Amino acid sequence: MNMNITPDTRVADIAAQNPATIRIFQRFSIDFCCGGKRPVSEVCAEKHITFGELRTALDSAGGPERSELPAADASLTEMVRFIVGKYHADLRAELPRLAQMAAKVLEAHGARHPDVLPALAATFRGLWEELETHMMKEERVLFPYIERLEALAADGQRLPASPFGSIQAPIGMMEHEHESAGQALSRLRELTAGYAPPADACNTFRGLYHGLAELERALHEHIHLENNVLFPRAARLEEELTHRAVI
């Protein structure tokens, strides 16, 4: 990759410039979304790896073309529609499926795994409910406003008053909810010992753990694209339009 990575470079900046590096961060269990604003040196120390080891792995990631994520310089409208069409659509299909599997596994195996499955089902249910509300707020309020900002900028128009003042208000709310979702994912990983099914697990049990692991991977990418790419660019665009309006 072409980016000059130093020990002070933030993880989120690396992932934003070259999304292909996300799989490297996932391999080392390095948070590149909610906790991605930390320098590389700090996460290397935490994970007990050297900077050179991580840098070599990142260099092997290849270019952005190896990732399905839109390029960092894609239009905001393109990013919004990718998020809704890909991540939101996938979540609305996958969350009910996983909920059914979790209920089935709890009923069949809960007595043998009382320290894991009841808490897993409750944590997942809370995550599902929170994500449903979260996606609705993004699609009805924040995302249309971001698309409107880009349209105004393209037409050279002034920024009208928004119902929530600065975009930082809804962005702050969404980032707070992302943090909550990240905590739920961490809890699920802890409960399942890294999604390792027990020896007596049936196929549904194993399928549930695999599905939860995939959910974690996709949500980390999803949150990264919003927190570290879409939201900062939208905030900068609003600021530019506000400045234009004042002039």
pLDDT at 168 over 60: yes
Quickly list H helices, the chain: 11-17, 22-27, 40-47, 51-59, 76-82, 89-109, 117-137, 143-155, 168-191, 203-225, 231-246
Query: Once rounded to an integer, what is the mean pLDDT over residues 12-40?
Result: 84
pLDDT bin (cut points 50, 70, 90) of residue 65 is very low
Query: Once rounded to an integer, what is the mean pLDDT over residues 169-179?
Result: 96
pLDDT at 155 over 60: yes
What pLDDT score was predicted for residue 242? 85
Q: Which residues share a beta bridge with 39?
A: 10
pLDDT bin (cut points 50, 70, 90) of residue 66 is very low
Write down the residue that tokens 């349209």 correspond to: 151
What pLDDT score was predicted for residue 63? 55
Q: Average model confidence (pLDDT) for the chain? A: 90
Of 118-122, 131-135, 193-197, 199-203, the poorest mean pLDDT is in: 199-203
pLDDT bin (cut points 50, 70, 90) of residue 35 is confident
Higher pLDDT, 219 or 244: 219
What pLDDT score was predicted for residue 102? 95
Query: Once rounded to an integer, what is the mean pLDDT over residues 219-233?
Result: 94
Burial 117-133 (b: 16+ CB within 10 A, else e): beebbebbeebbeebee
Structure tokens that stand for 202 in this block: 């049936």
Structure tokens that stand for 9 in this block: 């470079």
Burial 143-153 (b: 16+ CB within 10 A, else e): bebbbebbebb
Query: Once rounded to an integer, what is the mean pLDDT over residues 69-78?
Result: 86
Structure tokens that stand for 187 in this block: 């809890």
pLDDT at 86 over 60: yes
* Global pTM value: 0.78
Instruction: Let me know the angle formed at the C-alpha of 224 by 170 and 171, rounded to the nearest 5 degrees.
Output: 5
Percentage of the chain exceeding pLDDT 70: 95
Three-class DSSP category at 92: helix
C-alpha span between 226 and 32 (Å, rounded): 12
Question: Using an 8 Å Cβ cutoff, are 120 and 188 in contact?
Answer: yes
pLDDT in tens, 193-218: 999 999 998 888 998 998 999 999 99
